[in-house]
């Protein structure tokens, strides 16, 4: 019973001392303080916080715009440097091609000159060799008759056992040579 009496007393006390936001007698003062607090908070936000945030955003926007402009400028410079590099590379290739062509032409001219020199030397040696061969041939042909006469004389002496005159052997060799031709 004691518990029920305490409970009943607590319930009476609860209706008299209810939570202030739910107490209908204090609604007008709560709304007034809400309006004042909201107004002060609105003024604080509009006069202090929002301008600072706006200036920070403006600073960031300016910095981003400057960074983009700098990036565009650097990209333009790098494109120009790359174009200049490509132009110099093309010129270097052209010069290298010209140098190589000049070297090939010079090497060909040197080779042609050396070949002409060697051919002239070979032609000179060939003419000299042909002249020597012709001289040896004519000498050999001139001596063939003498060798033939000597050989014939030696063979006839061996065969008949006597000597034969040189004039007679020479006439016989000439007659035999003319019959062959």
* Residue 150 burial (CB count, 10 A): 14
Domain residue limits, the chain: 46-180
DSSP, collapsed to helix, strand or coil, labels residue 162 as coil
Judge contact between 21 and 30, C-beta under 8 A.
yes
Angle (CA) 103-109-110 rounded to 5° is: 85
How confident is the model at residue 25, as a pLDDT?
A: 86
d(CA 81, CA 88): 10
Per-position pLDDT tens, the chain of length 181: 555 555 555 545 445 677 877 888 888 999 999 999 999 999 999 999 999 999 999 999 999 999 999 999 999 999 999 999 999 999 999 999 999 999 999 999 999 999 999 999 999 999 999 998 988 888 777 777 777 777 877 887 887 877 777 777 788 777 877 776 5
Judge contact between 166 and 149, C-beta under 8 A.
yes
* Residue 149 burial (CB count, 10 A): 19
* Residue 169 burial (CB count, 10 A): 20
């Amino acid at each position: 019973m004691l518990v029920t009496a305490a409970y009943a007393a607590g319930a009476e006390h609860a209706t008299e001392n209810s939570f202030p936001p739910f107490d209908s007698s204090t609604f007008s003062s709560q709304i007034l303080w809400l309006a004042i607090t909201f107004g002060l908070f609105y003024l604080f936000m509009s006069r202090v916080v929002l301008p600072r945030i706006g200036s920070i955003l403006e600073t960031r926007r300016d910095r981003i715009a400057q960074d983009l402009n700098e990036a565009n400028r650097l990209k333009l410079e790098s494109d120009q440097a790359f174009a200049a590099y490509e132009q110099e590379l093309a010129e270097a290739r052209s010069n290298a091609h010209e140098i190589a062509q000049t070297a090939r032409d010079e090497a060909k001219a040197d080779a042609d000159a050396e070949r002409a020199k060697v051919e002239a030397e070979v032609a000179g040696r060939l003419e000299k060799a042909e002249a020597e061969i012709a001289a040896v041939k004519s000498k050999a042909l001139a001596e063939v008759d003498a060798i033939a006469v000597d050989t014939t004389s030696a063979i006839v002496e061996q065969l008949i056992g006597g000597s034969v005159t040189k004039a007679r052997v020479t006439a016989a060799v000439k007659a035999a040579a003319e019959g062959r031709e």
